[in-house]
Amino acid sequence: MQHAHSLPVSDPRHGWLVRGCPQGKPLESRCAPKHPRPVRPAFFIWLLAALQVAAEPPMLRPALAIAANGAGLDVGDYAIPCVADWNGDGRKDLLVGYRVLATPTLGDKVAMFLNTGTDTAPVFGQRSLLQANGADIQVPGSGCGAPAPWVCDYDGDGRRDLLVGEGNSGYVYLYRNTNTDAAPILAPGVRLLMGASPVSVSSRATPCVADWDADGLNDLLCGDGNGNVSFFRNVGTAHAPGYETRVLLQAGSGALYLGIRAVPRCIDWDGDGLQDLVGSSDTGVYWCRNTGTRTTPVLQAPVALNIPKTDGSGSLTTIQTGGRMRLDLTDWDGDGTLDLILGNANGTVFLYPGYRFRVTRIQQLSPGELTLEWASAPLLKYTVLTGSSPAQIQTPLVTGLASGGNLTTWTHPMSAPARYYRIQVGP
Ligand SMILES: [Ca+2]
Ligand SMILES: [Ca+2]
Ligand SMILES: [Ca+2]
Ligand SMILES: [Ca+2]
């Protein structure tokens, strides 16, 4: 009987040490078996186990354009996306703030794309415009600073509300939902306050709400045009959030700097149980790993997220769509792995599906032959290294193996000492 396996792995260099077990027995989930078996070389395939079972950030597949009304979604200019189930029907919808450059005095708007497909395979029709107090939401913008929507139950009454960051002066507006989750009706926008003064981050406000210090009260975090992220700790209540201080988040050795026009998201990117910060800017999308605690996050310096190159090299590169990249994160396809949504300067919105590298099948097709399959991404090429021990995985067995798409299969004639393998992206 064959077993399908999935193993957590962690290796920022995109390499994986793998080890196996006798055919037909379940893989150990850790490097050191609790009950070591005698090694019986030659006839047993020892492969595939993770060097570490620690946290594992997702990898990303190439960009896919999100469609609406049968064509590529395009709101015009400076798309800032937020994925949320706006009408409470269990299917994720897409809000996109954007600039109205043709009529700048009217203010910028928030497009709504309701999902008529399923939650895991969204289908969007024509846009509508979010309204408040019976009229289109309009927010002052300037330059490339568009409205940045964020959906949450801000006042804890059980109904989702809308926050919008202002592109011009960096204010954050609350549009309270006065109706139901199924049919939201928004009250006029009011600026959030810090004490008696409006919350402001000077320009290009990109709010998100999360309980950053895990005290049970949601806090406000907000990116700005300068590339920093402000933390407004909620010193009010769940029903009436209040702020008294603005503190710049730190990461690494100083103030967190994502690059200009920062958009933060608070999310456990690597699945280690600690909320991290993932953010975008003009220069890329970055992960700041939280190595502190739930109540006292300590962020590491930003590390750029990578996607497959399109130049045929088979390797990885940072994300760059031409500046003004605005991030959101969600499990778009419901496969349990976070996916990346990116709004672009030209009004389009892209999906980068996330996946976790896993060896999903180990098979001894015939004596002396083995097959490995692993989650992969189009455009990538892989190198398979082997050795007789974890410390000796150095011998290349195959280089430049093209990805099979989302899954790559490789069959290899076994040799007795080659029992440990590492699969890595690129050379
Ligand atoms: Ca919905
Ligand atoms: Ca809090
Ligand atoms: Ca984490
Ligand atoms: Ca997913």
Please give the single-letter amino acid code of residue 338. L
Distance 266 CA to ligand 3 centre (A): 10
Q: Say which ligand is closest to the CA of 330.
A: 4
Q: Say which ligand is closest to the CA of 289.
A: 3
Distance 271 CA to ligand 2 centre (A): 20
pLDDT at 55: 64
What letters, b where the CB count within 10 A reaches 16 and e where it falls short, cover 316-345? beebebeebbbbbbbebeeeebbbbbbbbb
User: In this predicted model, what pLDDT tens digit does every residue of 275-289 receive, in sequence order?
Assistant: 999 999 999 999 999
Residue 43 has pLDDT above 80, yes or no: no
Distance 181 CA to ligand 2 centre (A): 24
Distance 159 CA to ligand 1 centre (A): 14
Q: Say which ligand is closest to the CA of 233.
A: 2
Higher pLDDT, 296 or 107: 296
Q: Output phi, psi for 54, to 5 deg.
A: -75, -170
Question: What is residue 356's three-state secondary structure?
Answer: coil
Q: Where residue 13 falls among pLDDT bands split at 50, 70, 90?
A: very low
Distance 354 CA to ligand 4 centre (A): 6
Structure tokens at 151: 């959906």
Structure tokens at 296: 């006292």
Contacts for 327 with CB less than 8 Å, ≥ 6 apart = 263, 265, 278, 279, 280, 285, 340, 341, 342, 343
Distance 319 CA to ligand 3 centre (A): 21
Cβ atoms of 151 and 185 within 8 Å: the answer is no
Q: Say which ligand is closest to the CA of 341.
A: 4
Neighbours of ion ligand 2 (CB under 5 A): 211, 213, 215, 217, 219
Mean pLDDT of the chain: 87
Question: What value does the CA radius of gyration of the chain take, rounded to a whole number of Å?
Answer: 24
Write the DSSP string, 110-131. EEEE-B-S-SSS--B-S-EE-E
Closest CA to 189 of 202, 178, 201, 204: 178
User: In this predicted model, what pLDDT tens digit does every residue of 292-334 receive, in sequence order?
Assistant: 999 999 999 999 999 999 999 999 999 999 989 999 999 999 9
Q: Say which ligand is closest to the CA of 276.
A: 3
| CA separation, residue 58 to residues 11, 29, 174, 366, 384 (Å) | 11, 19, 33, 34, 20
Contacts for 181 with CB less than 8 Å, ≥ 6 apart = 87, 88, 158, 159, 160
3-state per-residue secondary structure call for 292-310:
CCCCCCCECCCEECEEECC
Distance 330 CA to ligand 3 centre (A): 15
Distance 332 CA to ligand 1 centre (A): 13
Q: Say which ligand is closest to the CA of 219.
A: 2
Cβ atoms of 114 and 86 within 8 Å: the answer is yes
Residue 148 has pLDDT above 60, yes or no: yes
- Distance of alpha carbon 76 from alpha carbon 78, whole angstroms: 7
User: In this predicted model, what pLDDT tens digit does every residue of 370-406 receive, in sequence order?
Assistant: 888 999 999 999 999 888 888 888 899 999 999 999 9
Distance 181 CA to ligand 1 centre (A): 10
Q: Where residue 154 falls among pLDDT bands split at 50, 70, 90?
A: very high
- Distance of alpha carbon 414 from alpha carbon 81, whole angstroms: 49
Question: What is residue 106's three-state secondary structure?
Answer: helix
| CA separation, residue 346 to residues 28, 101, 343, 382 (Å) | 48, 12, 8, 33
Lowest pLDDT segment from 121-130, 315-324, 351-360, 374-383: 351-360
Closest CA to 355 of 159, 61, 48: 61
User: ∠ CA(335), CA(3), CA(420), 5° rounding?
Assistant: 95
- Distance of alpha carbon 21 from alpha carbon 371, whole angstroms: 13
Q: How far is C-alpha 364 from the geometric centre of its chain's CA atoms?
A: 36
Distance 81 CA to ligand 1 centre (A): 15
Neighbours of ion ligand 3 (CB under 5 A): 268, 270, 272, 274, 276
Residue 159 has pLDDT above 90, yes or no: yes
pLDDT at 102: 75
pLDDT at 29: 25
Distance 211 CA to ligand 2 centre (A): 4
Q: Output phi, psi for 232, to 5 deg.
A: -105, 105
Residue 366 has pLDDT above 70, yes or no: no
Distance 212 CA to ligand 3 centre (A): 12
Distance 109 CA to ligand 1 centre (A): 20
Q: Say which ligand is closest to the CA of 268.
A: 3
Q: Does the global pTM surpass 0.85?
A: yes
pLDDT at 359: 78
pLDDT at 347: 97
Distance 334 CA to ligand 4 centre (A): 5
Residue 58 has pLDDT above 90, yes or no: yes
Lowest pLDDT segment from 112-121, 142-151, 318-327, 412-421: 412-421
pLDDT at 145: 92
